[in-house]
Structure 1
Amino acid sequence: MVSAVFHSPLEAHAALPPAAKAVARPVATAAPVALVPMPRVPRDFRAVWLRVLPPVLGFALLVLVWELVALKSTTGFPSPLATWQQALTVFSDPFYSKGPNDQGVGWNVLSSLQRVALGFGLAAAVGIPAGFAIGRFEFLSRMFNPLISLLRPVSPLAWLPIGLLVFKGANPAAIWTIFICSIWPMIINTAVGVQRVPSDYMNVARVLNLSEWKIFTKILFPAVLPYMLTGVRLAVGTAWLVIVAAEMLTGGVGIGFWVWDEWNNLNVANIIIAIFVIGIVGLVLEFALVKIATAFTFEEVKQ
């Protein structure tokens, strides 16, 4: 008679050999992983305040001083509110034209920018190649450095009568004044950039027997570009400063003439508006040229 013997699972596992026990060991199931939310990074409001608050306080201080001057003035100096109301009227139609001497502020700004562009363009066409030549050749540097040192400190407006005498016209004389005041920063900065090119670069050019054109395009121009753009930026800023004074003396259409004409009409509010317009246009020109210079400038030269 055969009897069946039944064993419990624990007894059966104990009866297995060690190798079988390792194979038959039950696999532990992984516990479910709880999703922990990522902590939120707090916003740095302090950095925002450091960017926004100081300029706001600066403009608020300007308006406060302006208001105090207007309150104490006995000559009808316009307050900030009165100037703002006049600005709304001026900019409601900035491009009106009622004759050669009565045009909106938009036409005056465009006319001044046109003169600056012509004078600056001529200065760049002459000054940048001259700077490369003066920096590249020692003979030319010794020849022209005394002349540059003599003529550079002369006030740009001192050249205006020469322009009136030579060109027999107010508009060419103003362009000539822009030209003569813009050329010096471009010549000097470009020449300094050429002179600061590492001598190893030039030694390699001599070893490779490169032509002067190859030296200019492959070595000098890339190395001098940051200095050249710095000179361009300084020249544009100087040109925009000078054109206002030149137009006051020469007349015609332009932001400088507009300021002088409003002074003759005793319209001080429009003069203050013109001051802000001149500052904003100069700021835009400076910002645009800084962006261009940053795009083509090496990091070590930017700082």
Structure 2
Amino acid sequence: MNIAAVFAAVARASWKRSKALVIRDTVILPGLGFLGLILLWWAIALFRRDLMPTPAEALVNNLDFILNPFYQRGPGDLGIGWLLLASLRRVLIGFLLGAVVAIPVGFLIGMSRPMMLALNPLIQILKPVSPLAWLPIALAIFNLANPSAIFVIFITSLWPTIINTSLGVSSVSQDFLDVARVLEMPRWRQIYKIILPASLPYIFTGLRISLGIAWLVIVAVEMLTGGIGIGFFVWDEWSRLNLSSVFLAVFVIGLTGLLLDFAIAQLQVLVTHRRPTAATN
């Protein structure tokens, strides 16, 4: 056997091992995790037959929602797809408004010690406030459910982005800034050419956390304010003791949150050309 054949055989074996590892890590192991969760659900349902459906029963009961997610059968009778879009609209508006405010504030705090000393105590006081505590204030201001929900999303999505942006800005190497000053680079150019690129991973980490919080909050807010949305759908179905639809909504909410985080992560790769690390609350 010649050397080329040996190398080819080794390469094929290595490729097969890599393919097997990819299949194991992306298909088999996640599949086992989901299977364990379904089996746990099934076991609990067997003990609560009076109220809790089994996975198979929930699937059958939700076929109409699954097969016709965008049906319209009346003013308040909409498919789960429309409800999800209504919630996503509120979340994205509040989140984007929060990002527009939070990123500049984070830059101010990171670049200016007086601004940090002035704003940091305010942030530390407001950051732990429960999102639902803002809802009565929002309702008093706007007197409408939809803008109130957007305001709650806005105010609760500010803090992770502000904190991470300020951390990224303050972590920029002083050597880079010293070189820029030697070259007499204007301040705005320092921000654009040095500080912003170095801070982007921190900014995107803050945005990912903020978006996750926004998606968590909208469900609770819609439960209280009512109207069209996935959160109110959960509450309404529970009021009817229809747990099958509640389980469907939980799956849809979780899957949507996963896709939102994936979208931000892909945007980060596109902008920074670097793979993001996992964002954690």
Q: Does 1:61 align with 2:51?
A: no
Q: Does 1:146 align with 2:121?
A: yes
Instruction: Report the alpha carbon displacement of residue 50 of structure 1 after superposing the two structures with TM.
Output: 4.3
Instruction: Report the alpha carbon displacement of residue 298 of structure 1 after superposing the two structures with TM.
Output: 6.5
- Report the residue type matching 2:146 in the other structure: N
Q: Does 1:226 align with 2:201?
A: yes
Report the Cα distance in structure 1 between the residues aligned to 2:24 and 2:264, rounded to whole angstroms. 27
Report the Cα distance in structure 2 between the residues aligned to 1:36 and 1:157, rounded to whole angstroms. 67
Report the Cα distance in structure 2 between the residues aligned to 1:173 and 1:35, rounded to whole angstroms. 71
Aligned to 1:21: none
Q: Does 1:274 align with 2:249?
A: yes
Aligned to 2:105: 130
- Report the residue type matching 2:270 in the other structure: A
CA deviation profile, 1:212-259 (whole Å, cap 9, x unmatched): 211111111111111111111111111000000000000110000111
Q: Does 1:88 align with 2:66?
A: no
Aligned to 1:20: none
Distance change in 2, residues 1:36/1:213 (3 Å): closer
Aligned to 1:10: none
Q: SS in structure 2 opposite 1:296? A: helix
CA deviation profile, 1:4-51 (whole Å, cap 9, x unmatched): xxxxxxxxxxxxxxxxxxxxxxxxxxxxxx998565423226513344
Instruction: Report the alpha carbon displacement of residue 53 of structure 1 after superposing the two structures with TM.
Output: 2.3
* 1:187-226 alignment runs, 5 A limit: 187-226=162-201
Answer whether contact 2:86 2:228 (CA < 8 A) is retained: yes
Aligned residues: 270
Q: SS in structure 2 opposite 1:197? A: coil
Instruction: Report the alpha carbon displacement of residue 87 of structure 1 after superposing the two structures with TM.
Output: 2.8
CA deviation profile, 1:45-79 (whole Å, cap 9, x unmatched): 65133443221211111111111111111423110
Deviates more, 1:72-81 or 1:227-236: 72-81
Q: SS in structure 2 opposite 1:76? A: coil
Aligned to 1:14: none
Report the Cα distance in structure 2 between the residues aligned to 1:182 and 1:35, rounded to whole angstroms. 60
Instruction: Report the alpha carbon displacement of residue 88 of structure 1 after superposing the two structures with TM.
Output: 2.0
Structure 2 unaligned spans of 5+: none
- Report the residue type matching 2:209 in the other structure: L
Report the Cα distance in structure 1 between the residues aligned to 2:85 and 2:245, rounded to whole angstroms. 17
Distance change in 2, residues 1:188/1:129 (3 Å): same
Aligned to 2:52: 77
Q: SS in structure 2 opposite 1:81? A: helix
Answer whether contact 2:237 2:246 (CA < 8 A) is retained: yes
Instruction: Report the alpha carbon displacement of residue 296 of structure 1 after superposing the two structures with TM.
Output: 3.5
State which of 222, 226, 242 in structure 2 corresponds to 1:247. Answer: 222
Distance change in 2, residues 1:103/1:51 (3 Å): closer
- Report the residue type matching 2:35 in the other structure: A
Which structure has the highest helix share of the two? Answer: 2
Structure 1 unaligned spans of 5+: 1-33
Aligned to 1:8: none
Distance change in 2, residues 1:37/1:217 (3 Å): closer
State which of 71, 78, 90 in structure 2 corresponds to 1:115. Answer: 90
Report the Cα distance in structure 2 between the residues aligned to 1:293 and 1:214, rounded to whole angstroms. 22
Instruction: Report the alpha carbon displacement of residue 139 of structure 1 after superposing the two structures with TM.
Output: 0.6
- Report the residue type matching 1:59 in the other structure: F
Report the Cα distance in structure 2 between the residues aligned to 1:99 and 1:299, rounded to whole angstroms. 48
| TM-score, length of structure 1 as denominator length | 0.84
The runs of at least 4 aligned residues of structure 1 exceeding 6 Å deviation read none
Answer whether contact 1:185 1:235 (CA < 8 A) is retained: yes
Which entry has the higher C-alpha Rg, 1 or 2? 1
Instruction: Report the alpha carbon displacement of residue 292 of structure 1 after superposing the two structures with TM.
Output: 1.9
CA deviation profile, 1:260-299 (whole Å, cap 9, x unmatched): 1111121110000000000000011111111222333475
| TM-score, length of structure 2 as denominator length | 0.90
User: How high is the sequence identity, in percent, across the aligned residues?
Assistant: 47
Distance change in 2, residues 1:111/1:301 (3 Å): closer
Report the Cα distance in structure 2 between the residues aligned to 1:233 and 1:52, rounded to whole angstroms. 25
Answer whether contact 1:167 1:173 (CA < 8 A) is retained: yes
Report the Cα distance in structure 2 between the residues aligned to 1:300 and 1:84, rounded to whole angstroms. 37
Answer whether contact 1:77 1:268 (CA < 8 A) is retained: yes
Report the Cα distance in structure 1 between the residues aligned to 2:172 and 2:119, rounded to whole angstroms. 20
- Report the residue type matching 1:127 in the other structure: A
Distance change in 2, residues 1:144/1:46 (3 Å): same
